[in-house]
Amino acid sequence: MAERILIVEDDAALGEGLRLTLERYDCTVAPTLAAARQALAAGGWGLMILDLNLPDGSGLDLLRAVRRAGALPVLILTANDLELDQVRGLELGADDYVTKPFSLAVLRARVKNLLQRRAAPQPVFRQGPFFFDFSRPEFRRDGQAVELSRTEQRLLRLLVENRGRVLTRAQLLDAVWDGGEFVEENALSVAMGRLRSKLAGLPVRTVYGVGYVWQTGEDGL
C-alpha cells in the first residue's frame, strides 16, 4: 500500500502539480488549515507537506499541533526563504524545509528520504569508521571499543535515528534528560563535547543558534 501524504497548500495549481509529481504515493491536498486539521484527525498519514502562508492562518500553528500530537514527518514548503523562518520551522519540529521555487526532483528525493527515515530504527548502525550496537550496548571506532555514559548513549542514538534532520537544543534537552526542566543548558554542550572527543570525526555539525545535525553522505561525510 502506498504511503499517504497530506499536502497543505492553498494554491490549487501547485497542489495538483505536487500530487502529480508524487503520483507513486497516495496524496491528498488540503487548501486550508481547517481542511488539514480535519484530514489529520482521520489519521493514517505518512508525511505532511506544509505551506506556511494559508488563507485561514499560519502553517506554523498547525506544525505546533502536529508536534504535540506525535512524530508525523513534516516538510515545510513555502516562499518564505528568510533564515528566521527556517529557524522557527526547525525549532518547532519540522523535518525538512524547501523554499519556492524548487526542483521537483529534489522534492521527490527529500520526500523519499523522510519516509525511509520514518521506518523503525535498527539497533545496529554502521557508517564509515563507526559501529554502534545500541541493544548490547557496544560502540566502536575503527574497531576499537569506546565507553559511553548512558547520557552520551541516549544523545548519540537520537542523532543517529534522526540523521539528516536538525535537532534543536530544546528537543535534545527534553529527550535526553527526560524533560530537561532542571538541567543547565550547557549540559548539552558538555555531553556533545565528550561524545565528539570519544568518537573522533563524528559527523555531527553544530547549527549555530539552533542545535545539531548528524550529516548524511550527501551532506559531506
The three cell numbers of residue 209 are 543558534
**102 exposed, middle or buried (CB, 10 Å; 0-12, 13-18, 19+)?**
exposed
What is the pLDDT, as a whole number, of residue 219?
A: 36
Q: What is the pLDDT along the chain (221 residues), one digit of tens a residue?
A: 678 999 999 999 999 999 999 999 999 999 999 999 999 988 888 899 999 889 999 999 999 888 777 678 899 987 766 667 667 777 777 888 888 888 888 899 889 888 877 665 557 888 889 999 988 889 999 999 999 988 899 899 989 988 888 889 888 888 887 654 556 768 899 999 999 999 999 999 999 989 999 987 533 33
The three cell numbers of residue 66 are 502536529
Task: Give the H or E element holding residue 90.
Answer: helix 83-91
Report the DSSP beta bridge partners of residue 99: 78
What is the pLDDT, as a whole number, of residue 218?
A: 39
What is the pLDDT, as a whole number, of residue 136?
A: 82
What is the pLDDT, as a whole number, of residue 118?
A: 66
Closest CA to 188 of 175, 201, 200: 175
Domains detected in the chain: 4-117 (3.40.50.2300), 124-219 (1.10.10.10)
What is the pLDDT, as a whole number, of residue 114?
A: 85
What's the CA gap between 162 and 47, in Å, rounded? 15
- What digits encode the pLDDT tens for the residues 136-157? 889 999 999 999 988 899 899 9
Angle at 130 between CA 125 and CA 132, to 5 degrees: 40
What is the pLDDT, as a whole number, of residue 198?
A: 96
What is the pLDDT, as a whole number, of residue 81?
A: 61
What is the pLDDT, as a whole number, of residue 162?
A: 84
